[in-house]
Amino acid sequence: MSKFSKISLWLIENMIWVILLVYVVINIFVTPKFVTYGNITNIFYHSSVLSMLVLAQGLVLLLGYMDLSIESTLAFAPVISVLLLVKYIPWITPVGAIVLTLLLGCLVGAFNGTMITRFGINPFLQTLSLLIILRGIVIFLLPVSIFEFSDVYSAPGALRTIFNIPVAVFIMIFVFIIFHFVLNKTIFGRHLIATGGNNLSAYISGVNTKRVVFITFVISGLLAALAGLIMAGRQQAVTNAMGDGMVFESFAGAILGGVSLKGGVGKVSGMLGGVLLLGAIDNSLNLLGINVFLIYASKGLLIFVAIVLDQAKVKLKNYIYYREDMRRFKETKEIAGV
Amino acid sequence: MKVKENNSLELKNISKLYPGTIALRNINLSISGGYIHGIIGKNGAGKSTLINIISGLTYPSEGLISINGKEYPRLSRILSKKENIAVITQEPQLVPEHTIVEALFSPNYIQKNGIINWKKMKEKSVSMLNSPLLKKIKGKRAIRDLTISEQQLLLVFKAINLEGANIIILDETTASLTQDDQNLLYEFIINQKNMGKSIIFITHRMQEILDICDKVSVLRDGELINTISTKNLNMGELSSYIIGDSKLAEIDSTDRKKTKKKISDETVLQLKDLSKMGDFMNINLEIKRGEIVGLAGLRGSGRTELFNSIIGINNFDTGVLKVKNVEKKFKSPSEALAGGIAYLPEERDREGIVNELGVMDNLVLSCLKKLCVFKNVGIIKDSKKRDLAKNLIKKLSIKTISLDQKVKDLSGGNKQKVVVGKILSVMPDIFILDEPTKGIDIEAKNSILNIIEKDLSREAGILITSPGLGDLIKICDRIIVLLNGEIVEEVESNKFNENKIYLAMQGKINS
């Protein structure tokens, strides 16, 4: 393969980072105060919540499924935990409440996973129903917001460490490194990708595909709860509207990051790139003083662009392979001709 | 004879190349109106490719198709339909929700300005349903109420009477028909023939060719061996055309015996009266370590169903399955794998490989547990993975640019080698191989057969099927013939005779 084709392929594989780089460079000139230490930290900080959802959605998309319920889990897990902490059973302690939050996330995921693997319910419908059910429960239990709860509970989202970097940013980076490792170096990760790439083939090859699906949904729930924990800390409150509408951004981030809707294709690093691009766009438009509703519309546009890019990528790749084939074909003909 | 010029089809020098294989080589075939023209050949002989070219589903790489004197370099499905060519495939292509009336007319509804005239269609269909071919359908409502057999008859009727097809291809249509319906169909197409239409009749059954066809063309390995009149043809003669030089196969098998290794006394797989309603009955079978047992049977004989039940994709109803003398009933392939059975599925692309993954990742998919840093911790050691993959690639001589090249970019033969490599990496007690040599070129085929004989069978027992009997004869120690879900014949390697086994597969045992 020629060097040019190799580089092109690599760029297509990591397209998101190229786009991100271009976007940042443009903004250096266009947006005032975009490249300052404070603002860059801010972009990361603001991305931390969405990044967990994108990772959750990305992993489920890798399976070839989707999880709509994550944005409601994001609200459900911290709201229940904080309610218990401040109202009903204060003896669970803030640390206990953090553990409970994450456990509730796992539980929601386990419910999704059980229904999908054991009862064969369509993942779209299963998670759609939970999206509505959980949001309803949250609004019922918490008609008003809770502002005062333990500093310990809000630490993951609020605390700042050295160089004024929030803990949440470290959590985000840590989680992404963990899942990069899980996906590439563990049996579970390889089984996940094989199951998403060809469920039947993986099943016949001896992969316990149902278990893989179940665990992935549990992870998805866990990550959604972690997102909720960070968000609660960041806004120093739990509200019943937490995470409303974020599921769409989770799709946008994952697809921008190169995750295919068909399953089996995608990288954790790409998902991070997708989140950061969304964060950077949101941030720059804000700095430029663009109307909030236009920013909202631009996110819709991004989802559209992401899908088109996904298609264009496949076409481009095929074209490069085709050109390579033709080149080799011609070479063999020339050799034969001599 | 009355030859009607307007229903003739001629193939001139048709070739079809697939990456790595030649499916058809210089086929010259002329089919004329007023005849039933049979086409027969073993699996992989090129029948389906030929039919796909005539019906416009694939393009020939070379050659011309001439219909009634008009020449085309290639046909599309629409063009083929326009030239009044109809194909009845093995699986009826009908919408289950359609009513009989709608199924008969769709997609050419009687309509005016886009509004369907249901009343007129109903009226018209009444007289149609009186045709002997459709008499059983009368009174039934929707397609889902019909048996497959009845659906096929409906399609044949529709193709000829409603779409006005003049050249009708019956692609193994009779395989899914009941005996009664077969007779109805025979009567019907003989009628059509007498009216000057061309019938192309593809089948596996030699008896059908002799009974109802006027001429027969025999395909073997992508070449047209002969086109003969069936008048003075007998079954032995026909089968020798289909199989080719049977002496060659015998030499192969005697050659092999010299290098034959010892079969151990340990029974690794034992089936006792294994039955599953509608699929197979009372299967008794014992496989010893190091033994290769071939399972010969036509499509629909129950071999894939038997395999699926052994490895836990389906269950079986009654009987006993023993692996190394321990009774087992697997619930999934992953359980079977843990219990010592590795399975190579028949449909490579759908069941065998993960297209988007690299060669290495596909090869190691079944044995990741062995590649871990520590036991029982799910972290894979890269160097172990790499070494295993490199080993397998070398052993199977898989042609790949790198360890990470995506499997979808490999040729068919190399893909198949990846699937073989995957199960080879597991080192089980039993290999179950469903058509490991299907759809690959001769070189890849030989190397896979070689590996099955030398590597796979060294430590394990093997149960194998193959699209060509020749492959089984080459490597098996025993061949078992399956017919309609039952074992009808068992032949030891010193008594292999391709003709005889082929006849047994057809249900004709003459000892």
Instruction: Write down the pLDDT at residue B301.
Output: 82
Q: Which of A157, A160, A156, A153 is nearest to A95 (CA)?
A: A153
Q: What is the CATH number of the domain that holds B17?
A: 3.40.50.300
Residue B19 has pLDDT above 60, yes or no: no
For residues B10 and B123, membership in a common domain is answered with yes
Is A87 exposed, middle or buried (CB count within 10 Å of its CB: 0-12, 13-18, 19+)? exposed
Token code pair at residue A255: 């697809």
Residues listed for chain B: 511
Phi and psi at residue A149, to the nearest 5°: -145, 175
Percent of chain B exceeding pLDDT 70 equals: 92
Token code pair at residue A239: 């509200």
Place of tokens 């010892």: B262
Q: How far apart are CA B167 and CA B34, in angstroms?
A: 10
Which one of A200, A205, A267, A320 makes the best mutation probe of the B interface by having the most chain B beta carbons within 10 Å?
Answer: A205
Residue B3: Cβ within 10 Å count: 11
Nearest chain A alpha carbon to B348? A201
For residues B379 and B475, membership in a common domain is answered with no
Fold of domain A3-330 = ABC transporter involved in vitamin B12 uptake, BtuC (1.10.3470)
Token code pair at residue B471: 């492959």
Instruction: Write down the pLDDT at residue A93.
Output: 85
Q: How far apart are CA A177 and CA B167, in angstroms?
A: 64
Instruction: Compute the nearest-CA separation of B327 from chain A (Å).
Output: 20
For residues B78 and B37, membership in a common domain is answered with yes
Q: Is B442 helix (H, G, I), strand (E, B) or coil?
A: helix
Contact of A207 with chain B, judged by CB distance below 8 Å, is answered with yes
Contact of A236 with chain B, judged by CB distance below 8 Å, is answered with no
Place of tokens 């509408």: A245
End-to-end CA distance of chain A: 22
What is the β-pairing status of strands B430-433 and B461-464? parallel
For residue B219, how far is the Cα from the chain centroid?
15
For residues B369 and B504, membership in a common domain is answered with no
For residues B285 and B148, membership in a common domain is answered with no
User: Which positions 183-202 of A are in contact with B (Cβ < 8 Å)?
Assistant: 185-188, 190-191, 193-194, 197-198, 200-202
Instruction: Write down the pLDDT at residue B217.
Output: 93
Task: With CB atoms and an 8 Å threshold, state whether A191 touches B368.
Answer: yes
Residue B256 has pLDDT above 90, yes or no: no
Amino acid A315 reads: K
- Half-sphere CA count of B165, side-chain side, radius 13 A: 25
Q: Within chain B, how many helices (H) and strands (E) appear?
A: 18, 22
Q: Which of A200, A264, A265 sits opposite B351 (nearest CB)?
A: A200
Which one of A62, A192, A204 makes the best mutation probe of the B interface by having the most chain B beta carbons within 10 Å?
Answer: A204
Amino acid A325 reads: D
Instruction: Write down the pLDDT at residue A319.
Output: 81
Bigger pLDDT: A308 vs B506? A308
For residues B466 and B493, membership in a common domain is answered with yes
Q: Which of B350, B355, B380 sits opposite A190 (nearest CB)?
A: B380
Place of tokens 């929601």: A108
Q: How far apart are CA B394 and CA B406, in angstroms?
A: 17
Whether residue B50 is contained in a domain is answered as: yes
Contact of B117 with chain A, judged by CB distance below 8 Å, is answered with no
Nearest chain B alpha carbon to A182? B379
Q: How far apart are CA A99 and CA A47, in angstroms?
A: 23
Residues listed for chain A: 338
Which one of B310, B314, B344, B368 makes the best mutation probe of the A interface by having the most chain A beta carbons within 10 Å?
Answer: B368
Instruction: Write down the pLDDT at residue B262.
Output: 66
Token code pair at residue A28: 């250096």
Instruction: Write down the pLDDT at residue B20.
Output: 52
Q: How far apart are CA B183 and CA B193, in angstroms?
A: 15
For residues B401 and B317, membership in a common domain is answered with no
Phi and psi at residue A48, to the nearest 5°: -60, -40
Residue B421 has pLDDT above 60, yes or no: yes
Long-range interactions of B377-381: CB distance < 8 A, separation 24+: B378/A186, B378/A187, B378/A188, B379/A185, B379/A186, B379/A187, B380/A185, B380/A186, B380/A187, B380/A190
User: Which positions 6-45 of A are in contact with B (Cβ < 8 Å)?
Assistant: none
Rounded (10°) angle between helices B246-258 and B235-243: 60
Name the DSSP letter for residue B57: S
Query: For all residues of chain B together, what is the average pLDDT?
Result: 83
Instruction: Compute the nearest-CA separation of B509 from chain A (Å).
Output: 36
Q: How far apart are CA A214 and CA A256, in angstroms?
A: 25
Q: How far apart are CA B49 and CA B18, in angstroms?
A: 10
**Contacting residues for A110 by C-beta, under 8 A, at least 6 apart:** A214, A217, A218, A221
Q: How far apart are CA B80 and CA A152, in angstroms?
A: 75
Residue A45 has pLDDT above 50, yes or no: yes
DSSP string, A158-186: H-B-GGG-BHHHHHHHHHHHHHHHHHHHB
Sign of CA dihedral B78, B83, B88, B89: negative
Contact of A1 with chain B, judged by CB distance below 8 Å, is answered with yes
Task: With CB atoms and an 8 Å threshold, state whether A193 touches B337.
Answer: no
Whether residue B345 is contained in a domain is answered as: no
Contact of A178 with chain B, judged by CB distance below 8 Å, is answered with no
**With a cut of 0.85, is the ipTM above it?**
no
Cα–Cα distances (Å) from B487 to B280, B281, B495, in that order, read: 9, 8, 17
Which of the listed residues B214, B244, B274 is the one where a domain comes to its end?
A: B244
Q: Which residues pair with B112 in a beta bridge?
A: B115
Q: What are the start-end ranges of the H helices in A84-159?
A: 93-118, 123-141, 151-158
Q: Which of B274, B349, B305, B298 is nearest to B90 (CA)?
A: B298
Least confident range from A40-49, A108-117, B169-178: namely B169-178
Amino acid B415 reads: K
Token code pair at residue A178: 């963990």
Q: How far apart are CA B33 and CA B417, in angstroms?
A: 45
Q: Is B220 helix (H, G, I), strand (E, B) or coil?
A: strand
For residues B132 and B219, membership in a common domain is answered with yes
Token code pair at residue B151: 């659906």
Q: Which of A186, A187, A204 sits opposite B343 (nearest CB)?
A: A204
Percent of chain A exceeding pLDDT 90 equals: 47
For residues B332 and B373, membership in a common domain is answered with no
Token code pair at residue A89: 């059973």
Bigger pLDDT: B37 vs A31? B37
pLDDT digits (tens, 9 = 90+) for A59-107: 999 999 999 999 999 999 999 999 898 888 888 888 889 999 999 999 9
Instruction: Write down the pLDDT at residue B464.
Output: 92
Residues in A closer than 8 angstroms to B409, CB to CB, are: 321
Residue B410 has pLDDT above 80, yes or no: no
Q: How far apart are CA B416 and CA B362, in angstroms?
A: 11
Q: How far apart are CA B10 and CA B71, in angstroms?
A: 9
Which of the listed residues B244, B263, B292 is the one where a domain comes to its end?
A: B244
Q: Which of A258, A181, A203 is nearest to A19 (CA)?
A: A258
Contact of B403 with chain A, judged by CB distance below 8 Å, is answered with no
Confidence of residue B4 (pLDDT cuts 50, 70, 90): very low
Residue B227 has pLDDT above 80, yes or no: yes
pLDDT digits (tens, 9 = 90+) for A186-207: 999 999 999 999 888 899 888 8
Cα–Cα distances (Å) from B46 to A229, B40, B304, B315, B495, in that order, read: 63, 10, 22, 34, 29
For B37-55, give the secondary structure using H, E and C: EEEECCCCCCHHHHHHHHH
Q: Which of B356, B361, B426 sits opposite A190 (nearest CB)?
A: B361
pLDDT digits (tens, 9 = 90+) for A204-230: 888 899 999 999 999 999 999 999 999
For residues B302 and B236, membership in a common domain is answered with no
For residues B364 and B319, membership in a common domain is answered with no
Task: With CB atoms and an 8 Å threshold, state whether B401 touches A194.
Answer: no
Query: For all residues of chain A together, what is the average pLDDT?
Result: 88
pLDDT digits (tens, 9 = 90+) for B153-210: 888 888 888 888 889 999 888 877 777 888 889 999 898 888 888 999 988 778 888 8
Instruction: Write down the pLDDT at residue A337.
Output: 56
Bigger pLDDT: B66 vs B180? B66
DSSP string, B126-137: HHHTTSGGGTTT
Task: With CB atoms and an 8 Å threshold, state whether A187 touches B369.
Answer: yes
Residues in A closer than 8 angstroms to B425, CB to CB, are: none
Nearest chain A alpha carbon to B401? A1
Cα–Cα distances (Å) from A330 to A323, B15, B19, B389, B397, in that order, read: 11, 22, 16, 31, 25
Residues in B closer than 8 angstroms to A193, CB to CB, are: 354, 357, 361
Bigger pLDDT: A138 vs B508? A138
Whether residue B75 is contained in a domain is answered as: yes
Residues in B closer than 8 angstroms to A205, CB to CB, are: 333, 337, 365-366, 422
Instruction: Write down the pLDDT at residue B5.
Output: 56
Average pLDDT (B478-503) is: 85
Residues in B closer than 8 angstroms to A1, CB to CB, are: 401
Task: With CB atoms and an 8 Å threshold, state whether B354 touches A186.
Answer: no
Instruction: Compute the nearest-CA separation of B345 from chain A (Å).
Output: 8
Confidence of residue B249 (pLDDT cuts 50, 70, 90): very low
pLDDT digits (tens, 9 = 90+) for A267-312: 999 999 999 999 999 899 988 888 888 888 888 888 788 888 878 8
Q: Which domain holds residue B158?
A: 5-244
Contact of B114 with chain A, judged by CB distance below 8 Å, is answered with no
Instruction: Write down the pLDDT at residue A318.
Output: 77
Contact of B315 with chain A, judged by CB distance below 8 Å, is answered with no
Which of the listed residues B359, B394, B427 is the one where a domain comes to its end?
A: B427
Percent of chain B exceeding pLDDT 90 equals: 14
Nearest chain A alpha carbon to B353? A201
For residues B360 and B479, membership in a common domain is answered with no
Average pLDDT (A133-159) is: 85
**Contacting residues for B243 by C-beta, under 8 A, at least 6 apart:** B42, B220, B249, B469, B470, B498, B499, B502
Residues in A closer than 8 angstroms to B365, CB to CB, are: 190, 194, 202, 205, 207
Token code pair at residue A95: 């640390």
pLDDT digits (tens, 9 = 90+) for B285-330: 999 988 999 998 877 788 888 999 999 988 899 999 999 888 988 9
Instruction: Write down the pLDDT at residue B495.
Output: 80
